[in-house]
Amino acid sequence: MSDTTSVTFRVHRYKQGDEDPHHDRFAVEVGPRTTVLDALTAIRRTQDPTLTLRHSCFHASCGTCGMKVNDHEVLACVTNVRELGTDEVRVEPLDNAPVVSDLVVDMGPFYARFDVAERPLVRESELVPGSHTAAGVPQSMRYEDCIECGICVSACPIAGTDPAYLGPAALAAIDRVRQEPRGVDVGPIMRLADDPHAAWRCHLAFECTEACPSNVDPAGHIMQLRRSLFARGWRRPSAEPQGARR
Amino acid sequence: MTERVAGADRRVERQGRRRGVMGWVDVRGRRLGGWAFILNRLTGLGVLFYLYLHLIVLSQLAVGPSAWDSLLRNWFLNPVFLLLDVVLLAGLVIHGLNGVRLALVGFGIVIDRQKALLLAFGVLGAILIVIGALRFISDAGAK
Ligand code: SF4
Ligand code: FES
């Protein structure tokens, strides 16, 4: 006997040129291990092929399936439907980003801000206790924690009112460069972080840290940036162009 | 089944569902720090409102002692005003303690334990508000 139950998905719909967005309801049979992304792809496959959503890896590493499920920002691919505990599951695109179609938002502005932080994509690996690097490998490297999903920006109340805010992910990336510059001149990016629309704009809701699916702790990084800016006595040069955040 | 998104318009889409100022008081999906953020804004606005109210009330002193005395007798010993005093105290305590928290965390003095600090200040604030409220009530009873 199959262990499935019917769950209603209330999904945000919007296509370019639509007068208004609306919600569509879909009934989906879910099993104990069905994720929200499984359900959405099933809807697209069997009920409405026009439903637009983004995904790639299905295992929390590409960061493309960020969306709001029952008002919380999550990665749909690792969000178990049954564990949500609701008969109806509300699915919406991330906040604070332009909606392109249905559940897809334009990540362009987010990536552009991320670029200014020099994209610290790799870091020295923290080895499991008792392990060691392979012979001939001077130091194991691994990818940074941030999967660039944009969830932190959606959860941030400041990003909701200040379009110029550099945002949690970019500021966390700047702090990572400060911690491990690896040859990068940190002066320009620290001046960028010192901008009123950057590290000092955060109001410590810590929603980004709570929502981040990859344990980046963006708010913690912003506080460390502030401490560093404060300690070093960085001053924002008034004549300097602040182009990167615009 | 199709239904319209409440309050939706195309401007919302172009601007990217930016939450805006109303997002500050939208408690859906918010967690502990988000609640502290919301409370800080509401209490800040409340205290600002009270400041102006206070100045208006004080202006009665310029009218003369009898005007001030009757204001005290007729209004400020009223139980409703007693309740408003407690609300004011709560606003000042919440905003003040949260301000100290923001300074401690925001300048990087306490980062790793920020959640514990928030909880500790929450408990401290609740104790101060209860003590203050009891004091107000016993003082009013003595008058
Ligand atoms: S900091 Fe976390 S929430 Fe923000 S983009 Fe990176 S992984 Fe996503
Ligand atoms: S599909 Fe890659 S993170 Fe969800």
Domain CATH code at residue A234: 1.10.1060.10
Q: Is A62 in the pocket of ligand 2 (CB under 6 A)?
A: yes
Computed over every residue of chain B, the mean pLDDT equals 83
Q: Is A205 in the pocket of ligand 2 (CB under 6 A)?
A: no
Q: Taking 80 as the threshold, does the pLDDT of residue A153 lie above it?
A: yes
pLDDT given for residue A156 in this prediction: 94
Q: Taking 50 as the threshold, does the pLDDT of residue A198 lie above it?
A: yes
Distance CA B46, CA B106 (A): 23
Grade residue A118 by pLDDT with cuts at 50, 70 and 90. low
Grade residue B64 by pLDDT with cuts at 50, 70 and 90. confident
Which residues does chain B have within 8 Å of residue A224's beta carbon, measured at their own beta carbons?
Answer: 108, 111
Distance CA A83, CA A231 (A): 45
Residue A169, Cβ neighbours under 10 Å: how many? 27
- Segment (H or E) for A6: strand A5-13
Are residues A123 and A33 both part of a single domain?
Answer: no
Q: Which residues have a Cβ under 8 Å from the Cβ of A99 and sit 6 or more positions away? A: A14, A21, A93, A105, A106, B13, B16, B17
Q: How many domains does chain A have?
A: 2
Are residues A129 and A94 both part of a single domain?
Answer: no
Are residues A220 and A114 both part of a single domain?
Answer: yes
Which residues does chain B have within 8 Å of residue A157's beta carbon, measured at their own beta carbons?
Answer: 19, 23-24, 34, 37
Are residues A34 and A112 both part of a single domain?
Answer: no
Are residues A122 and A240 both part of a single domain?
Answer: yes
Phi-psi region of A7 (alpha: psi -120 to 50; beta: other; left: phi over 0): beta
Cα–Cα distances in angstroms (integers) from residue B10 to residues A26, A119, A155, B21, B52, in the given order: 24, 34, 22, 18, 39
Strand runs (DSSP E) across B72-143, as ranges? none
pLDDT given for residue B4 in this prediction: 47
- Segment (H or E) for B135: helix B114-142
Domain CATH code at residue A19: 3.10.20.30
pLDDT given for residue A116 in this prediction: 77
Q: Taking 70 as the threshold, does the pLDDT of residue A228 lie above it?
A: yes
Q: Taking 60 as the threshold, does the pLDDT of residue B35 lie above it?
A: yes
Grade residue A1 by pLDDT with cuts at 50, 70 and 90. low
- Give yes or no for a contact between B81 and B75, defined as CB atoms under 8 angstroms apart: yes
- Last residue of some domain: A62, A89, A104? A104
CB-based contacts of A107-114 (< 8 A; 24+ apart in sequence): A107/A148, A107/A150, A110/A148, A110/A150, A110/A153, A110/A167, A110/A169, A111/A148, A113/A166, A113/A167, A113/A169, A113/A170, A113/A244, A113/A245, A114/A148, A114/A169, A114/A170, A114/A173
Helix (H, G, I), strand (E, B) or coil at B55: helix
Contact A226 B107 (CB under 8 A): yes
- Last residue of some domain: A43, A72, A104? A104
Are residues A136 and A223 both part of a single domain?
Answer: yes
**What's the distance, Cα to Cα, between the start and end of chain A in Å?**
57
- Give yes or no for a contact between A151 and A66, defined as CB atoms under 8 angstroms apart: yes
Contact B23 A157 (CB under 8 A): yes
Are residues A127 and A73 both part of a single domain?
Answer: no
Segment B84-126, tens digit of pLDDT: 889 999 999 999 999 999 999 998 888 888 889 999 999 999 9
Computed over every residue of chain A, the mean pLDDT equals 88
Contact A71 B29 (CB under 8 A): yes
Helix (H, G, I), strand (E, B) or coil at A12: strand
The CA-based diameter of chain A, rounded to the nearest angstrom, is 71
- Last residue of some domain: A78, A104, A130? A104
Distance CA B117, CA B112 (A): 10
Chain A, window 157-216: residues with a beta carbon less than 8 angstroms from a chain B beta carbon = 157, 159-161, 163, 202-207, 209-210
Q: Which residues have a Cβ under 8 Å from the Cβ of A83 and sit 6 or more positions away? A: none
pTM metric for this prediction:
0.83
Are residues A240 and A124 both part of a single domain?
Answer: yes
Strand runs (DSSP E) across B6-117, as ranges? none
Q: Taking 90 as the threshold, does the pLDDT of residue A84 lie above it?
A: yes
pLDDT given for residue A21 in this prediction: 93
Helix (H, G, I), strand (E, B) or coil at A102: coil
ipTM: 0.75
Contact A223 B12 (CB under 8 A): no
Across residues A197-220, what is the average pLDDT? 95
Q: Which of B5, B17, B115 sits opposite A23 (nearest CB)?
A: B5
pLDDT given for residue B108 in this prediction: 85
Are residues A176 and A211 both part of a single domain?
Answer: yes
Name the residue range of residue A96's domain.
5-104
The phi, psi pair for B76, rounded to 5°, reads -80, -15
Are residues A22 and A41 both part of a single domain?
Answer: yes
Are residues A134 and A18 both part of a single domain?
Answer: no
Q: Whose CA is nearest to atom 3 of ligand 2?
A: A60
Are residues A94 and A171 both part of a single domain?
Answer: no
